[in-house]
Amino acid sequence: MMNDQVYMQRCLELAVLGAGKTSPNPMVGAVIVYEDQIIGEGYTSPYGGPHAEVNAINNAIAKFGEIEALERFKCSTIYVSLEPCAHFGKTPPCADLIVEMGIQKVVIACLDPYAKVNGLGLKKLQDAGIATEVGVLEAEAKWVNRRFFTKIAQSRPYIILKWAETADGFFAPIDSSQKWISNVASKQLVHKWRAEEDAILVGKNTAIVDNPSLTVRDWQGRNPKRVLIDKNLAVPPDFSILNDQAETIVFNAIKTDWQGHLKYVELENFDLYLPQQILCQLYLMDIQSVIIEGGKKTLDMFIEAGLWDEARVFQSTESWETGVKAPKFNGQEIAVEKIGSDVLSTFVPHK
């Protein structure tokens, strides 16, 4: 059992290497073990490419050649952080490939809640006479794919709140001027996070006051989709958030129009259940996760609606003594770490 956990932990380490690339698919890692040695491993390719199991099998074949690899598979166990798929999508079913390769046993961290899988992959393996085990590091695997699980279970994207506050709890200057709170290392980390999520959302005031580009210029990776809440289209067209560096979705009360990288989406009854309307539209666009970066009004709107899954809060050593107070929320702290001089706390809602 201890070895099972070691090999499954390796699957989870591999899975997160696909962060920011696999959506709307989940992040999955796979490891093939023969005589207590890893002979092949892989993780899910960018969306549309081979899944983790395929990459692990191909990795073993590349090492040993097809004939030798097939012989080893007969006495091998494949560890997978999510149930192998059972349907034809962008790629053929992984469960069928595992059966075809003659692998002796499959150990799965957790079942896939997607309706076209959800136990069907496991059944295919069992019907073929393959030994199976489910539930090794299940909680850890569900955390890795919390975005995917939230989208399936709640029909909305996974919501991450992010902000920085001073040591005395202030979020922004009273006069709406721009004033940086967190340090350079924290800023770079935020850019890494952006590369890992599907979209990043701000309100109109933040777009005007800060004129942010919301890109990953301080990190390698693809820019997330930008989401702007701008009821009356007040953000000037030459502002950074509307440039062509990323696709931008503008929720407004005036028009629906698609102009190249700009997608204007008019919401009827704009002020009625606005967070719910926005998340419904983003879900329909196959967006699996969103970082909400501000401002205060926008963050408070999602907090008050109970529509958030994770909050990442930087606290600096600087004190202002006055300003706009940071958002308040009811959350359970699950992690604390030092980022240079800043302290980063991660919260989830109280259950």
- What mean pLDDT is predicted for residues 140-149? 97
Q: What is the mean pLDDT of residues 70-87?
A: 93
Contacts of 334 (CB under 8 A, 6+ apart): 346, 347, 348
Is a pLDDT exceeding 90 seen at residue 173? Answer: no
Question: Do 46 and 25 form a contact (C-beta atoms < 8 A)?
Answer: no
C-alpha torsion angle, residues 329, 268, 206, 307 (rounded to 10): 20
Which residues line the annotated binding site for NADP(+)? 164, 180, 210
Domain ranges in the chain are 1-150, 155-349
* Nearest to 196, CA basis, from 90, 308, 302, 291: 291
Residues designated as active site: 53
pLDDT at res. 300: 97
CB 190 within 8 A of CB 213: no
Q: Does the pLDDT value for residue 116 go beyond 80?
A: no
pLDDT surpassing 80 at residue 343: yes
Q: CATH topology of 1-150 equal to that of 155-349?
A: no
- Superfamily classification of domain 155-349: Dihydrofolate Reductase, subunit A (3.40.430.10)
Q: What is the pLDDT of residue 217?
A: 85
Q: Is the sign of the CA dihedral 202, 204, 205, 206 positive or negative?
A: positive
- Mean per-residue pLDDT for 146-152? 96
What is the per-residue pLDDT for 233?
A: 98
Tokens 């909400």 -> residue:
292
Binding-site residue set for substrate: 194, 206, 214, 217, 293
Average pLDDT of the residues in 275-283: 97
Residue 169 has pLDDT above 70, yes or no: yes
Measured distance CA(28)–CA(43) in Å, rounded: 6
Name the β-bridge partners of 163. Answer: 313
Q: pLDDT confidence of 117, banded at 50, 70, 90?
A: confident
Binding residues: 51, 85, 94, 164, 180, 194, 206, 210, 214, 217, 293
Cβ atoms of 166 and 181 within 8 Å: the answer is yes
Q: Which is higher by pLDDT, 324 or 91?
A: 324
Rounded to the nearest angstrom, the gap between the alpha carbon of residue 102 and the centroid of all alpha carbons in its chain is 33
| pLDDT tens column, 17-37 | 999 899 998 999 999 999 999
Q: Rounded to an integer, what distance in angstroms lies between the CA atom of residue 172 and that of residue 214?
A: 18
The mean-pLDDT minimum among 72-81, 112-121, 139-148, 284-293 falls in 112-121
Instruction: Give the pLDDT band of residue 1 (cuts 50, 70, 90).
Output: low
Please name the fold of domain 1-150. Answer: Cytidine Deaminase; domain 2 (3.40.140)
Binned at pLDDT 50, 70 and 90, residue 87 comes out as low
**Mean pLDDT, the chain, as a whole number?**
93
Strands 131-134 and 262-266: unpaired
CA distance 10 to 208: 45
pLDDT tier at 220, thresholds 50, 70, 90: confident
Buried b (16+ CB within 10 A) or exposed e, 168-178: eebbbeeeeee
